């Protein structure tokens, strides 16, 4: 009976396992092999260099910077989600007019291709004829060299990340619809102010949603390649790169596939470790 179930399950799982086998297991093998060579994208004339690539990657200051940027950008996204995202979702759920319009507008940057959104955003930041400097010029600020110096280019990326607050708004909106918020009515009768209700009643009430939001933003931050690639392109001097753009850009160099693969292996180990930790934690709680 058990072996019969196993056979049936194997049949149903076959397509999935084929995908995993090729694009994950076999792919990781290829990646690890490539990471120990010096080679180009044609994969011919590979020279085995052992663990040398790994040594070079982890001692490269720009790689370390990219890892730190990953964490920094994730932190910014999480902070924006828990404050702005939370506030906007609650406001939208409070029976405002034009709810659908506002909802769509706040979600739009997260839904269209980032290559489009970030490119327009990047063009808006151009020093001489960009829309942002034109706007700031009206109030007497400017012109700021957004992409040429470190501080402003970080600021520009932070703003771009705040624009992508749509996903958390979705989570909060969906959970608010199923949360019993009747307690607010008695709080109101007791004379509680709205700031009090936001911070001390609603925010703790949604703590499970906060966890969902933090996890999904964290996982998403590993995939934030397009955000940087299309706006600052990692400039100035590679200082705003994240691991994704670091791998992509090194790949374009001559015979740098082995090196890029070593960086990719390190990033994968990180991402899978966080993911495994999360699966373990949720699994234990489910019991």
Partner 1 sequence: MSTPLRALRQRRRDSVAVYGILLAGAALWLFPLVTAVRASIAHGGVANYWTVLTSTYNGVSLLGAFVNSLIVAALHAILVCGVGALAAYAFSKIRFPGRETLYHAVLIFLAVPGVAIIVPVYWITGQLALFNTHLGVALPEAALTLPFAVLMLRNYADGIPDELLEAARIDRAGHGQAFWHVFLPLCRPALINLGALSVMWSLQDFLFPSMILKRSDLSTAAQAVRTIESSFGPTPEQTSQYFAALVLLAVPVIVLVVGGLRFITQGITSGGVKE
Which residues inside 172-211 make contact with partner 1, applying CB under 8 A? 173-176, 181-185, 187-188, 194, 197-198, 208, 211
Place of tokens 């029976």: 95
Name which of 91 and 150 has its Cβ closer to partner 1. Answer: 91
Name which of 64 and 280 has its Cβ closer to partner 1. Answer: 280
Least gap, CB of 190 to partner 1 (angstroms): 11
Name the packing angle between helices 243-251 and 257-286 (round to 10°). 150
Q: By CB under 8 A, is residue 58 in contact with partner 1?
A: no
Q: By CB under 8 A, is residue 136 in contact with partner 1?
A: no
Give me the count of residues in the chain. 287
By CB under 8 A, name the one of 154, 158, 163, 203 that touches partner 1.
Answer: 163
Report the C-alpha dihedral over residues 240, 241, 243, 247, rounded to 10 degrees: -170
**Contact indicator for 119, 135 with CB cutoff of 8 Å:** no
Least gap, CB of 59 to partner 1 (angstroms): 20
Q: By CB under 8 A, is residue 51 in contact with partner 1?
A: no
Size of the site for partner 1 (CB under 8 A): 107
Residue ranges in 71-90 that form contacts with partner 1 under rule CB under 8 A: 87-88, 90
Q: By CB under 8 A, is residue 56 in contact with partner 1?
A: no
Name which of 150 and 174 has its Cβ closer to partner 1. Answer: 174
By CB under 8 A, name the one of 64, 116, 155, 200 that touches partner 1.
Answer: 116
Name which of 58 and 150 has its Cβ closer to partner 1. Answer: 58
Report the C-alpha dihedral over residues 184, 186, 187, 190, rounded to 10 degrees: 160
By CB under 8 A, name the one of 127, 219, 239, 255 that touches partner 1.
Answer: 219
Cα 118 to Cα 113, 263, 286: the distances in Å are 9, 25, 39
Q: How far apart are CA 50 and CA 113, in angstroms?
A: 39
Report the 10 Å Cβ neighbour count for 185.
9
Q: How far apart are CA 107 and CA 161, in angstroms?
A: 13
Least gap, CB of 274 to partner 1 (angstroms): 6
């Amino acid at each position: 009976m058990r072996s019969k179930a196993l056979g049936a399950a194997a049949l149903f799982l076959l397509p999935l396992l084929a995908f995993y086998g090729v694009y994950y297991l076999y792919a990781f093998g290829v990646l690890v092999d490539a990471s120990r060579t010096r080679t180009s994208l044609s994969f011919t004339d590979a020279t085995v260099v052992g663990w040398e690539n790994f040594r070079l990657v982890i001692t490269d200051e720009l790689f370390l910077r990219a890892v730190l940027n990953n964490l920094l950008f994730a932190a910014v996204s999480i902070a924006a989600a828990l404050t702005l995202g939370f506030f906007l979702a609650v406001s939208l759920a409070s029976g405002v007019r034009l709810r659908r319009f506002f909802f769509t507008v706040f979600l739009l940057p997260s839904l269209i291709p980032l290559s489009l959104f970030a490119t327009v955003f990047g063009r808006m930041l151009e020093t001489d004829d960009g829309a942002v400097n034109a706007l700031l010029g009206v109030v007497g600020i400017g012109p700021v060299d957004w992409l040429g110096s470190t501080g402003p280019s970080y600021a520009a990326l932070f703003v771009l990340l705040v624009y992508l607050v749509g996903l958390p708004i979705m989570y909060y909106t969906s959970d608010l619809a199923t949360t019993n918020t009747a307690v607010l009515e008695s709080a109101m009768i007791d004379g509680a102010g709205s700031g009090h209700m936001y911070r001390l009643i609603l925010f703790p009430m949604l703590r499970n949603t906060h966890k969902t939001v933090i996890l999904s933003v964290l996982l998403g931050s590993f995939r934030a390649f397009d955000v940087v690639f299309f706006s600052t392109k990692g400039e100035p001097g590679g200082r705003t790169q994240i691991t994704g753009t670091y791998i992509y850009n090194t790949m374009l160099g001559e015979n740098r596939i082995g090196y890029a693969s070593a960086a990719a292996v390190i990033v994968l180990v990180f991402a899978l470790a966080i993911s495994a930790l999360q699966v373990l934690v949720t699994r234990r709680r489910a019991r």
